[in-house]
Chains A and B, each alone.
Chain A
Amino acid sequence: MAVEKRVPALCNYAMFCAGCGHGVLLRLICECLEELGQEKNTIAAIGVGCSCHLKSGINVDLVQCPHGRAGAVATGIRRAEPDKCVFTYQGDGDAYNIGIAETLNAAYRNENLCVFVVNNNNFGMTGGQMSWTTMEGQKTATSPAGRDIALTGAPIKVPEMIAHSFRPAYVARGAVTTPAEINRLKGYIKNAFQAQLNHEGYSMVEVLSTCPTNWGMEPLAAHQHLMEHVVPYYQLGEFKKRGE
C-alpha cells in the first residue's frame, strides 16, 4: 500500500549537521501543526544553541529567547495571546541546565503550552560539552575522561520529575531513530498540541536525538548507540497521559 507524503510548506531547509535528529523533530512539529490547522496560528519560543536554526527552519512566528528562558517567554506569549498555539523548542542544555528554573516553573504553573526538548546528551552548538543529560562515562569536551557522576551528578530526568511532581496535562519521551520510534514520537507531539488546543495545560515531549558530529559517530552508528546505551536509561513512553 502506498501513501502520499510530502514535507509541509512550513518546514524549510534547516542548517543542522548531516544526520542530526533535530531535522526529524522539526518536520514532525510542522506536520502536526499542519494537520491541526495551526500553520497560521502559532508562535514559537526557541532556545539558544542548535535550536537557533529554527529561525530559518520553520515558517511560523517565533521569538529567539535568551538562553534557557523559553519557558518564561512562552508564558508571556501565552498570557498575551490566549488563542494562539504556543510552543517552545529547546535543547537539553537550554531547558535543563541554564533554564531549569524557567522550565520547571512553567510546568509547575501548568501553563497551557507545549515544550519540546531535544536531548542529545551534550551541548551541540558550542562543540559538545557535558550537559546534565550526558551519560555516565561519556567523553565530552568538558568531561574528557568520561563523565564522573560522583562529581557532576547523574543524567537528569526532567520529564519524570514534571510528570510525577506537578500536575501537567501530558508528558512523554520519544526518540528520533527507527521509523517505528519516529512514528510513535509523532503521536506524542500531536497529543501535546491537542492537549494545548483543548486547554488541558502544560505538556512536555522530550526527544532523544543523536548528535553525530559531537559524538564522533556516523549517523547510523549514532542511532545504534542511542538505542543501545541511551534508551535503556532514558526510557521511552508516556509518563503522564491526557485525562489521567
Chain B
Amino acid sequence: MSKATADQERCKGCGLCIAYCKKNALEMSSHINSRGYKSIRVLPDNCIGCGICYTVCPDGVFTIAAE
C-alpha cells in the first residue's frame, strides 16, 4: 500500500493538508525546520495514500509512494 511522506524542509506550516485530509493522517509537529516554519508530520497508520495532501499542498511537501 502507498503512503504519504513529508519533506519537512519544504513545509511552511499552512495546515491546508490537515484540513483536506479525510483520514486524520496528518498533524502539525513541533519540529521547526531550517527556514523557521513549523512542519507537518504524516501519521502512517491512518494514511491510505490517496494523494489529497499532495494535491492541495502549495509547497510540494508530499510524495506518495509504495511502501
Same complex for A and B? Answer yes
Docked-complex contact B56 and A4, CB < 8 angstroms: no
Question: When the two chains form their complex, are residues B60 and A7 in contact, meaning their CB atoms are under 8 A apart?
Answer: yes
Asked whether, in the complex, the Cβ of A182 is within 8 Å of the Cβ of B16, the reply is no
Q: Chain A's nearest CB lies how many Å from the CB of B25?
A: 13
Contact B60 A27 (CB under 8 A): yes
Q: Which residues of B contact A24 (CB under 8 A)?
A: 56-58
Residue from B1, B14, B50, B51 within 8 A of A219 (CB atoms)? B14
Minimal Cβ-Cβ distance residue in B for A12: B60
Residues of chain B within 8 A (CB-CB) of A220 are 15-16, 19
- Judge whether B51 and A5 touch: CB under 8 Å: yes
Q: Chain B interface: which of A14-22, A67-75, A90-98, A188-196?
A: A14-22
Tell me whether B27 is interfacial, beta carbon within 8 Å.
no
Evaluate contact between B55 and A4: CB separation under 8 angstroms.
Answer: no
Given A13-B60, A18-B12, A18-B14, check contact A5 B54 (CB 8 Å): yes
- Distance A29 CA – B12 CA, assembled complex (angstroms): 21
Known contacts A20-B58, A22-B58; decide if A3 and B2 are in contact (CB<8 Å): yes
B13 to chain A minimum Cβ distance, whole angstroms, is: 6
Given contacts A13-B10, A178-B20, A219-B14, contact A4 B65 (CB under 8 A): yes
Per the 8 Å Cβ criterion, residues 187-244 of A in contact with B are 212, 218-220, 223
B42 contacts the other chain (Cβ, under 8 Å)? no
What residue in chain A is nearest B37 (Cβ atoms)?
Answer: A18
- Given A19-B58, A182-B55, answer yes or no on A6-B13 (Cβ-Cβ < 8 Å): no
Cα distance A223–B58 in the bound complex, in angstroms: 13
Number of interface residues of A (CB under 8 A): 29
With a cutoff of 8 Å between Cβ atoms, the chain B residues found around residue A4 in the complex are: 2, 64-66
Residue-wise, chain B 34-67 has the 8 Å CB interface mask toward A (1 for contact) of 0001000000000011111011111110111110
Q: Which of A2, A7, A176 contacts B63 (CB 8 A)?
A: A7
Provide the bound-state CA to CA distance between A183 and B54, in Å: 11
Question: How many B residues have CB within 8 A of the partner chain?
Answer: 29
Closest partner residue, chain B, to A182 (CB atom): B55
Query: Which single member of A13, A16, A179 contacts B20 (CB below 8 Å)?
Result: A179
Chain B residues whose C-beta falls within 8 Å of the C-beta of A3 in the assembled complex? 2, 49-51, 64
List of B residues within 8 angstroms of A182 by Cβ: 55-56
**B35 to A: closest C-beta gap in Å:** 9
A11 interface contact, C-beta 8 A: yes
Query: Whole-angstrom distance between the alpha carbons of A114 and B54 in the complex?
Result: 25
- Distance (whole angstroms) from the CB of A67 to the closest CB of chain B: 24
Q: Are A23 and B16 in contact (CB under 8 A)?
A: no
Find the B residue at minimum CB distance from A21.
B58
- Please name all residues of chain B whose beta carbon is closer than 8 Å to the beta carbon of A5 when the two chains form the complex: 51, 54-55, 62-64
> Other CB < 8 Å A-B pairs besides A7-B54, A7-B62, 16 of them?
A2-B48, A2-B49, A4-B64, A6-B63, A18-B12, A18-B13, A19-B12, A19-B58, A22-B58, A23-B58, A23-B59, A24-B56, A27-B58, A218-B15, A220-B19, A223-B16
